[in-house]
Each structure stands twice: as structure tokens, then as C-alpha cells.
Amino acid sequence: MQRECPFAHTSKPFDWYAVTREADVAALLKDWDLWTSFSGPGLAHQTGGVLVTVDPPEHLFDRRLINQAFSPAQLLAMEDDITALIGELIDRFVADGQGDLVQLFTVPVPLIVISRLLGLDEDQVTQMRPLADAVIHPNTPPGKIDRPQEDTPQTRYFKQMIDQRRDMHSKGETLPDDVLTTLVTAELDGRRLNDVEVMGFMGFLYIAGSQTTTQLIGNLIYRLLQHPEQLDLLINDWSLLPNAVEESLRFDSPVNGLFRTNTRETEVHGVTIPEDTKVICMFGAANIDPQFWGEDAGEFNIRRNPQLTKRHYAFGKGIHYCMGAPLARLEARVAVKAIFERLPNLRLTGEPKEIAAHVMHGVDSLPVAWDIA
Ligand code: HEM
């Protein structure tokens, strides 16, 4: 597609276009006025959401609000907590000698971390996971996406938590220091969020912060097991770890691509498209475009030039750049180091399954064995 069909079109079962070249993905993400997010980052025309579903000036309001809820420094301050919880999780299965690392490890780590950040109960959040999966389900038809307003176990639980916080706030009680408290109490430009808005932010952060990071951790462990020479390099020099995380994000972008919609008729590579056409920016393809990365773009190499590696598109680019990137990177670093240090001679015992949701890319199972002391 990059070489021969840089502006690809499909009409069945739904109508949309795709850009795959790095230069095109960069151009679309930069021109947010033409290529807007007003109908959401998915194929569905989804309006009324937050952050990834709005354009400036509303978008700036949303980002300022999230900046109040957590800053990069606050996310990085979670390191000790994350290290401890990852240690405890591994304690639970280390004596088994084998298992599926997705179920045992890569799913629970981000779920527990995001629960703590948001101020939610870990067990409740874990039970809600199938619902979050449904949002990115491969066969979810456009227009059928669960909305925060709908009555689901997730919205009922969020509503109950919001009511509880509002009640505590009105009684002058001390509120926990977490994202939920910020959202419930924040006052920005003289305005407070209503319950539907708080639920919108909570629902988005819960999904944005869990499945994506699950994919990152799983992808990196899998590639290292597949490339023992790269794993040896890493184990002998852990200073390569940050770049290994970036290379994983580049080579195995957890989010394959997201959509934009044009506000007026426009032309791309000689093709004229009408206003309101869905065009997907393929981050995963841009990340392995040889025109940008060079001829070895298709190789997994944790010693790739770090200045170049970090220019990947896994976290998007421009005004919607991922606000959880420091946390995702931190979780991946701590998780991958702990797994290889605690599970000696870790090896694959079968072929991993690829996750079915097509906007996501990663492993849905990771069958492994390790030596028991
Ligand atoms: C490896 C893990 C992650 C990946 C690959 C990822 C990917 C992305 C991408 C591609 C976008 C851009 C959306 C767009 O352009 O339409 C984005 C936005 C966002 N992400 Fe992440 N994300 C990850 C983890 C997280 C985490 C852990 C959090 C929260 C703690 C988070 C919060 C956000 C937020 C708030 C935005 C919206 C920014 C905006 O619209 O201005 N993400 N993410």
C-alpha cells in the first residue's frame, strides 16, 4: 500500500480511506482544522465524547482538565507503587513454572495501575474488563459503540462512585487524592463537570490506559523471546531498556491506526473526497515506512538510534498526543525487567494468538514456561 496505493479506499462493508506513508500520517495529524476529531477516532461517527472526540477550543479545556488530574511528574511518581504491585503479582504465579502471561500478567498490571490512578476499586475494574474489550471488538458496527450515558454495569459503578465523592465533598470530608476527586471537584473557566462528563473522562481513561498498555507489555516480552540475541543484549545491559520500549512501540504499535474526518472536500494523492469522509491514519504502517526509517525499518532492533526510534507514531502526534505516554513507558519498563529477572530461562511453549480487534495490535495469549528454583 505504501508503494502502490498510498490513499487506499474500501467501501465494503463500510466506506473509508487509509493513509500509510509516514509523511501522509504526519500531514493529516498536523492539520487538525481540516482533519478533525469531531466524529471520533473510530470508524463510527461518534460525537459528544471527550479529548479524542473534540477539536479546539473544547479540546484545550479537556487537556487542561486532565493536566490538573495528573501531570507527567505525578505519573512517574507512581514507580515505587507499580514496582511493588508487579512484584506481588509475580509472587502469585512464580512457583507454577508455566502459564499464559497475558492472563497472569499483561492484563492485570495496567488494570490495577489505572484503577489506582483513577480511584476505582481494583476488583470492580477487573470484572468490567470484558465490557471495555467490547468497545474495540472487531465486529462492532459503526454507530453501535457503548456510550457513557448508556445503562451498563460500568456506568452504574462510575455513577455510584461519583455520587459517593460528591456526598463526601458536600459534607466537607477529606477526599482521596486521585483523578476521580479532581474531576468531581475541578472548576475550570468558572465551570464544573456534570456526571455525564465525569463518566466520559473516567470511561475514556479506563480504556485508553489499560488495553493499550497490555499490548505494549505483551508485545515487548514476545519480541524479546522471539529474538534471543536482542534479549541477551538487554539482560547484559539494562540501560538499553528505555530504547527497547520505544522500539517495541515503533515495531509493534499497540494502536494500529485511528480515524480523522475532513471538514471540507479535499484531494489526497489525486483523489477527491467529499466532506465528512473517514480516513484512517495508520500509525503501525508509518512506524515501518522505509522512506522514513531506512531499509531496516522491518527489523526489531533495540539498539536503533534512540533519537530516531522515539519519533514513532504509537502515541499519535500533534494536539491529541497521548497524555498517558510517561505512565505506559514506566509500566512497560518495570514489568519487562521484573519478568525476565524473576522467571529464569523464560521461553515460549506455543504460538501466541493475535488480538482480534483490528485497530489494536498485540498478543492475546502468550504461552510460556520458566525454570523453578
Ligand atoms: C502503550 C500504551 C498507550 C498507547 C499505545 C496509547 C496511544 C494513544 C494514541 C495513539 C492517542 C492519540 C489519539 C488520537 O490521535 O486521536 C492517545 C491519546 C490519549 N491517551 Fe494514550 N495510549 C497509551 C496509554 C495511555 C495511558 C496509560 C493513558 C492514561 C493514563 C492514556 C491517556 C490518553 C489520553 C488522555 C489521550 C487523549 C489526548 C487528546 O485527545 O488530546 N494513554 N493515546
CA of 345 to the centre of ligand 1 (A): 34
CA of 321 to the centre of ligand 1 (A): 7
In a domain, 37, yes or no: yes
Distance CA 122, CA 111 (A): 7
Say yes or no: CB of residue 328 within 6 Å of ligand 1: yes
pLDDT 10s digits, 70-116: 999 999 999 999 999 999 999 999 999 999 999 999 999 999 999 99
CA of 167 to the centre of ligand 1 (A): 31
In a domain, 238, yes or no: yes
Distance CA 333, CA 317 (A): 22
**Residue 128 — pLDDT band, cuts 50, 70, 90?**
confident
Contact (Cβ atoms closer than 8 angstroms) between residue 319 and residue 57: no
**Residue 255 — pLDDT band, cuts 50, 70, 90?**
very high
| The pLDDT of residue 148 | 45
**Residue 129 — pLDDT band, cuts 50, 70, 90?**
confident
Distance CA 108, CA 210 (A): 9
| The pLDDT of residue 137 | 52
**Residue 142 in this model has a pLDDT that exceeds 80:** no
| The pLDDT of residue 287 | 98
Say yes or no: CB of residue 7 within 6 Å of ligand 1: no
In a domain, 30, yes or no: yes
C-alpha cell at 97: 513454572
What Cα–Cα distance (Å) separates residue 208 from each residue in 85, 114, 187? Answer: 20, 9, 24
What is the amino acid identity at position 191?
R
Q: Half-sphere exposure of residue 181, counting CA atoms within 13 Å on the CB side?
A: 14
CA of 204 to the centre of ligand 1 (A): 9
| The pLDDT of residue 78 | 94
How many domains does the chain contain in total?
A: 1
Mutate to test the pocket of ligand 1, among 322, 333, 360 (most ligand atoms within 8 A of CB): 322
Say yes or no: CB of residue 205 within 6 Å of ligand 1: yes
**Residue 136 in this model has a pLDDT that exceeds 70:** no
| The pLDDT of residue 233 | 98
How many angstroms separate the most distant Cα atoms in the chain? Answer: 65
Domain of 254 in residue numbering reads as: 7-369
Contact (Cβ atoms closer than 8 angstroms) between residue 22 and residue 281: no
E strand spans, 213-312? 258-262, 266-268, 271-273, 278-281
Q: Which residue has the higher pLDDT, 258 or 48?
A: 258
The residues near 220 (Cβ < 8 Å, ≥ 6 apart) are 244, 245, 248, 252, 332, 336
DSSP annotation of 262 = E
Of 111, 116, 44, nearest to 78 by C-alpha is 116
In a domain, 24, yes or no: yes
DSSP 336-367: HHHHHHHSTT-EE-SPPPBPS-TTB-SBS--E
Mean pLDDT of the region 321-332: 98
* Cα 162 from chain centre: 24
C-alpha cell at 30: 498536523
| The pLDDT of residue 149 | 57
Q: According to DSSP H, which parts of 276-358 are helical?
A: 283-286, 290-293, 306-309, 325-342
Q: Is 188 helix (H, G, I), strand (E, B) or coil?
A: strand
In a domain, 1, yes or no: no
Say yes or no: CB of residue 348 within 6 Å of ligand 1: no
- From the CA of 319, give the closest atom in ligand 1: 41
Mean pLDDT of the region 122-148: 62
Distance CA 30, CA 168 (A): 43
In a domain, 163, yes or no: yes
Task: Specify the residue with its C-alpha closest to ligand 1, atom 32.
Answer: 324
CA of 370 to the centre of ligand 1 (A): 33
pTM for the full predicted model: 0.95
Contact (Cβ atoms closer than 8 angstroms) between residue 1 and residue 20: yes
Contact (Cβ atoms closer than 8 angstroms) between residue 45 and residue 294: no
Over the chain, what is the mean pLDDT? 93
Task: Specify the residue with its C-alpha closest to ligand 1, atom 27.
Answer: 209
| The pLDDT of residue 141 | 55
**Residue 146 in this model has a pLDDT that exceeds 90:** no
- From the CA of 110, give the closest atom in ligand 1: 27
Distance CA 11, CA 32 (A): 24
CA of 208 to the centre of ligand 1 (A): 6
Mean pLDDT of the region 361-373: 95
CA of 324 to the centre of ligand 1 (A): 6
C-alpha cell at 112: 490495577
In a domain, 2, yes or no: no
CA of 355 to the centre of ligand 1 (A): 19
| The pLDDT of residue 133 | 64
Distance CA 216, CA 264 (A): 36
pLDDT 10s digits, 296-325: 999 999 999 999 999 999 999 999 999 999
Distance CA 36, CA 31 (A): 8
- From the CA of 255, give the closest atom in ligand 1: 5
In a domain, 336, yes or no: yes
Domain CATH code at residue 120: 1.10.630.10
